Amino acid sequence: MPESANRSRFRDLDFGLIGFYLVCAAVLTFIMLPVFVVFFYSFFGSAVGGLGSPTLEFYEGAISNNLDAIILSIQIAVITVIVDIIIGVPAAYTLVRYDFPFKRLAMELTILPMAIPGIVIGVAIVRSWGAPRFGIDIGGTVEIIIIGHILFTIPFVIQVTMATLESVNYRRLEESARSLGAGWLRTFLYVIVPNIYNGIIAGAIMAFALSLGEFNISFFVYTPQNTTLPIALFGGFRTATVGEASALASIFILLIVGLLLIVQLISDEGVKLGGNV
Amino acid sequence: MTEVTLDGITKRFGTETAIEDISLTVREGEVLSIVGPSGCGKSTTLRTIAGFEEPTEGRIHFDDRDVTDVRAEERNVGLVFQNYALFKNMTVLENVTFGPRMQGVPKEERRAKAMELLELVGIDDLADRDPSSLSGGQQQRVGLVRALAIEPEILLLDEPMTGLDAKLKKRLRREIGKLLTDIGVTTLYVTHDQTQAMAMADRVAVLNDGHIEQIGTPETVYEQPANQFVANFIGTSNLLPATANGSTVDLGFTTIEAGGLSPTNGEVTVVTRPDDFTLNGGPIEASVLDTFYIGGTVQMVVELPDENQISLNVSPKEVDVSDLEPGDRINLSLDASNVHVVN
């Protein structure tokens, strides 16, 4: 009907709707503006503060001067994520699956590091592990940075894993597997883990990105020999050229965006594991 | 084939008693259905047999073997859930071979067995598909076949058809019924749907508030309900208060021959079914409250002289619904041969 078609086209031009689009566009601009500015300066920045001609030299400088920091940050993030998964996934399963005294309290404790400011964790880590304790002396080492990062990121892995467990109705899966003759370990490895694999990977990538960008805790425990990428970036903005610091920031953003794309891909595609005829 | 016996099973969660002193036997190759409203303890009963709940009291036997303390994974119990709980990380075939694989059956053998079972339910062509790409009815069959692949001592079905549409339910009911008869596996079928229970089961156990109200064939629980609860839960009933007096039962508006029906004298309840009344100008006067034309039957709600409301089914061939208005007076007769008296 032409009349109703006209009416619906008229509704599309509704001023309220246009208002919503405008708000949405403003928010997106607000989010993206700093990113664009950093990208812009990474190509056009100049040593004296004005604008230069487009160049890739800042990227060369950023990479060659900070290669150690980039590699160290990636190494720390990888180890952090591996430890997060090895202890976080069984912890999440235990918290969701079993009843025990103070279960609620235990669940809330796992969120605590998310809620406590990183700077507070940083101070606490230095107080706890900065000096030798129980015969363990890790002050000023990479290990202490990793401990801080695990503390900061593991709540995310635990939270995502718990949510995924609930969403796949793990209890029915587990009961089916056990009725079919699988003990708890085979049930966990062949059925539970593969069915929550997407959640684990999503949590892991989130933890990886958080570790890569972690500044507050690292700032308290790093040494000049153990400088991570965010610390280098902080130093860069104070000492290096605008262009080089912007290039380093851009590399950072690209790393994170790449990781987010992988998360997206995994949640869209799904992954199949554990099957065997 | 296995006979499964529950002997005085009680399960308490803290101070809550989920089931109390349940004793029943699922005979070899029988389909026993447990029906009851939600929260009556039917799922707890099933989970106790499967080994997921430890009974607070009582013992469970598979034939002569006491399995009360045997772990779920060692009980060899087939389990089918309402949502099928298929393993989404595995193909249909991998789902079906999972049980035999866990039990250490050689690869070729478990594959062949799985294909044979899939063929039996007509979905062998879906063997390499992902469960999530199947329809509800197909997933249901995979769930069933997966449970049967371990050649279970007993097959436990927990509301396996809830959530499927009515037509599919009817078809699956027939198919699954036939499959269970062919295979001859001892089966316990838990459902809140008394129609499914009656259609599928050799015997029905009516559960209420943690205890068994009655166990019997579908005919028995329908025609001779042990009490008001069973009469109300199984099918549609009109429960009418009456006074039993020796050989007669006085309903107030009419008197019927007790014919050995009445267990006691005094206050009793007469269970009548909607089909027991006929609209033929009989002695019982009633007024029409509502009529519902539902195809092959007209369901009527009428009010008796003592203000009790009853449902009755009449054939559209007998009654032209358009002629009946609420408030109209009609005359009924009661066929006393089918009525049943409970205390």
| Nearest residue in B to A169, CA atom | B85
Give tens-digit pLDDT for B159-187.
888 777 888 888 888 888 888 888 889 99
Which residues in chain B have Cβ-Cβ distances shorter than 8 Å to A169?
83, 85
**Which of A176, A183, A197 has its CB closest to that of B85?**
A176
Tell whether B247 and B219 lie within a shared domain.
no
**CA–CA distance from A172 to each of B52, B103, B185 (Å)?**
11, 20, 22
Does residue B168 fall inside a structural domain?
yes
* Interface contact flag, B85 A172, Cβ < 8 Å: yes
Tell whether B197 and B286 lie within a shared domain.
no
Give tens-digit pLDDT for B315-330.
877 777 777 888 888 8
Tell whether B40 and B175 lie within a shared domain.
yes
Does residue B228 fall inside a structural domain?
no
Q: Please check the confidence at residue A3 and state whether its pLDDT lies above 60.
A: no
Does residue B158 fall inside a structural domain?
yes
Domain boundary among B181, B197, B223: B223
Does residue B230 fall inside a structural domain?
no
Which residues in chain B have Cβ-Cβ distances shorter than 8 Å to A199?
none
Does residue B336 fall inside a structural domain?
yes
**Which of A173, A187, A276 has its CB closest to that of B101?**
A276
- Specify the number of domains making up chain B: 2
Domain boundary among B202, B223, B244: B223
Any chain B CB within 8 A of the CB of A197? yes
Please list the residues that pair with B310 across neighbouring strands.
Answer: B302
**Which of B51, B83, B99 has its CB closest to that of A172?**
B83
Any chain B CB within 8 A of the CB of A101? no
Q: Please check the confidence at residue B74 and state whether its pLDDT lies above 80.
A: yes
* Interface contact flag, B130 A272, Cβ < 8 Å: yes
Tell whether B152 and B51 lie within a shared domain.
yes
Say how far apart CA B137 and CA B142 lie, in whole Å: 9
Tell whether B45 and B157 lie within a shared domain.
yes
Tell whether B258 and B139 lie within a shared domain.
no
Does residue B29 fall inside a structural domain?
yes
Which residues in chain B have Cβ-Cβ distances shorter than 8 Å to A182?
73, 98, 102
| A45 three-class SS | strand
Tell whether B300 and B268 lie within a shared domain.
yes
Tell whether B176 and B314 lie within a shared domain.
no
Tell whether B218 and B241 lie within a shared domain.
no
Which residues in chain A have Cβ-Cβ distances shorter than 8 Å to B107?
277
Tell whether B201 and B244 lie within a shared domain.
no
Give residue B160's pLDDT.
83
Task: Report the range out of A166-175, A233-242, A257-266 with the highest average pLDDT.
Answer: A166-175
Size of interface A-B (CB pairs under 8 A): 89
Classify the complex by whether its ipTM is higher than 0.90, answering yes or no.
no
Any chain A CB within 8 A of the CB of B115? no
Give residue B263's pLDDT.
61
Tell whether B207 and B250 lie within a shared domain.
no
CATH of the domain at B306: 2.40.50.100
Q: What is the mean pLDDT of chain B?
A: 88
CATH of the domain at B72: 3.40.50.300
Domain boundary among B223, B247, B282: B223
Does residue B231 fall inside a structural domain?
no
Residue B256: which domain range?
A: 236-342
* Interface contact flag, B73 A182, Cβ < 8 Å: yes
**Which of A168, A183, A197 has its CB closest to that of B73?**
A183
Tell whether B152 and B16 lie within a shared domain.
yes
| Nearest residue in A to B112, CA atom | A277
Secondary structure of chain B in the HEC alphabet? CCCEEEEEEEEEECCEEEEEEEEEEECCCCEEEEECCCCCCHHHHHHHHHCCCCCCEEEEEECCEECCCCCHHHCCEEEECCCCCCCCCCCHHHHHHHHHHHCCCCHHHHHHHHHHHHHHCCCHHHCCCCHHHCCHHHHHHHHHHHHHCCCCCEEEEECCCCCCCHHHHHHHHHHHHHHHHHHCCCEEEEECCHHHHHHHCCEEEEEECCEEEEEECHHHHHHCCCCHHHHHHCCCCEEEEEEEECCEEECCCCEEECCCCCCCCEEEEEEECHHHEECCCCCEEEEEEEEEECCCCEEEEEECCCCCEEEEEECCCCCCHHHCCCCCEEEEEECHHHCEEEC
Which residues in chain A have Cβ-Cβ distances shorter than 8 Å to B52?
175, 178
Instruction: Report the range of poorest mean pLDDT among A4-18, A236-250, B6-20.
Output: A4-18
